[in-house]
Each structure stands twice: as structure tokens, then as C-alpha cells.
Amino acid sequence: MHLYRFTTVAERAAALDGLEDGARGAALEVDLVTARAVWGEPDPETGERAIVTPAVNIAGAWLLASGSIAGETPIAAIDPATMIATDCTEPSIAGARVEPMWSGSADAAITVSDGLAARRAALRLAVEARRDAILTGGWTVPDGPLTGHTLQTRGLEDRTNWLTAASGYAAMVAAGHGDEEGAAFRDAANVTVTVTFGEGHRVLLAMVAWGQAVLARSWALKDEVAAAADVVALDAIDITEGWPPAV
């Protein structure tokens, strides 16, 4: 899927009008969102919810199409599984998410422009989006008895489970039971593997080290973004490179 950017809504409408009927049906006007709106708890009496933090949209008249549009160059490819922008001609939009304009993504949204400060803010948000995608995408054990097994890291619950397990395995190792089997791992394919407490503890320490390396890379990129003197310098920052592999 291809993402196209037009300067005005009128230009986007003209591009849509120029498509054949079949191609027009496979094109969609969208928002490009770097941060979704955060809503508060429902009011106990009315059930209504207020926006705590507005969504952040990148300026532009965006069009998502399954095929090419004559005379236009796509600005990014969109992964249909995640709806996240990849292979971007502008690094500042990498990691942004495509959403249909009627999905509520634009409710009380802040739209960032192409100014230096706005581009810097957008690129910083893109770094955070890529960091979060990596951290929640799972980690594959690189060596030892669990080699090749992917452990899920989808969110707070997974991370809490692994930290709890690491604490328990460390206690067993400290108590002299490191060579005893009993550390059970359930991988992303729903396969259960049991190893010694010492092996299990080492695996989870390696996972923690990987997570720390991901965070360190995001901090380094944010420092580069903050230090960029102009838009040219910002566009030269490749936020897709340098991340530790999830293996």
C-alpha cells in the first residue's frame, strides 16, 4: 500500500478524480498520526469522556492507495498489518500510523506543520513509535537451551510477568538451586520449555539488557533530533538504523 502527500485538500481531490473507478475504490483519505488522543475515564453520570491529551497529526492532505497514482510519487509504504509508515522518503514520518479520517483520530488533534520545531517534534514522536514497536514486538532468545524461541513482550502484563519470573529465578539461584530444572517459559508459539533456574535467570537478564539497549538507542536518536540545526540535518537522521536486533 502506498501513501501519498498533497499540499491541499483540493489537490488530493483532483488526484482522486483522476483515478479509474476501480482504483478510486481502493484509495482512502487518511490522517497520519504520530500520537493518538488519550481519553479520560467516562463521566459516571453522562458516560461522556474528555480528551486528556490531543492526538498529533502531521500536516498534509494524505491519500492511501493500493496501487500507483500517475504523476505522483509515494512518500511511504504502509504495512497493512500495522498501518505504520515504512520505507519513507522523509524520515520524519517514519513510524507514524495511518488512520481513516472518520476514525476519530483527528478529534481535538494538534496538527504539526513543516517548521523546524514541528518537524523536530514529529521526528521525536516517530522515534518513540519505533521504540515502542520494537519493545512490544517480542524478543527471540539468541543462545542457550531456548535458542530461537520468541518471548512475548506485548505490554505491561508481559513485562511484569518476566520481571516477576526473573526475581523468582534469582532467588532460587541465590538459594543454591541454580542447576535444578523448574524455570518454565511459554513462547509466542505457545510452546512451553522448562530449563534450570540458572539458565532461566540468564535468559531474562539478556532480555533486560536488550530492552535497555533499545531505550539507549531511542535516547541517542532523540539527542540527534534535538541537536539538528535545520530541516536538512533532521532529514539526514535515519531513525530506522542502529536498533539492537530482537534476537
- Provide the residue-wise pLDDT of the chain in tens; the chain has 247 residues: 889 999 898 999 898 888 876 676 678 888 888 777 777 777 778 777 777 777 778 888 889 888 888 889 999 998 877 788 888 888 778 888 887 765 445 455 556 555 677 677 778 877 888 888 899 899 999 999 999 999 999 888 898 899 999 999 999 999 999 999 999 999 999 999 999 999 999 999 999 999 999 999 999 999 999 999 887 888 788 888 999 988 7
Q: Is 129 helix (H, G, I), strand (E, B) or coil?
A: helix
Question: 161 Cβ partners below 8 Å, 6+ apart?
Answer: none
Phi, psi of 244 (to 5 degrees): -65, 140
Closest CA to 19 of 68, 75, 74: 68
Say what the pLDDT of residue 247 is.
Answer: 75
Say what the pLDDT of residue 3 is.
Answer: 93
CA distance 187 to 159: 14
Strand pairing class (76-79; 181-186): unpaired
Say what the pLDDT of residue 48 is.
Answer: 77
Q: Which three cell numbers stand for residue 233?
A: 540535518
Rg from Cα positions in the chain = 22
CA distance 80 to 184: 34
Say what the pLDDT of residue 185 is.
Answer: 97
Read off the DSSP letter of residue 65. E
Say what the pLDDT of residue 144 is.
Answer: 93
Say what the pLDDT of residue 149 is.
Answer: 97
Q: Is 19 helix (H, G, I), strand (E, B) or coil?
A: coil
Spell out where 60-126 has E strands: 61-65, 76-79, 84-86, 97-100, 110-112
CA distance 145 to 195: 7
Q: Which residue has the cell 539497549?
A: 213
CA distance 40 to 7: 34
CA distance 242 to 246: 12
Do 194 and 181 meet the contact criterion of CB atoms below 8 Å apart?
yes
Say what the pLDDT of residue 107 is.
Answer: 53
Reduced 3-state DSSP string for 188-239: CCCCEEEEEHHHHHHHHHHHHHHHHHHHHHHHHHHHHHHHCCCHHHHHCCCC
Read off the DSSP letter of residue 141. -
pTM of the predicted structure, to 2 decimals: 0.57
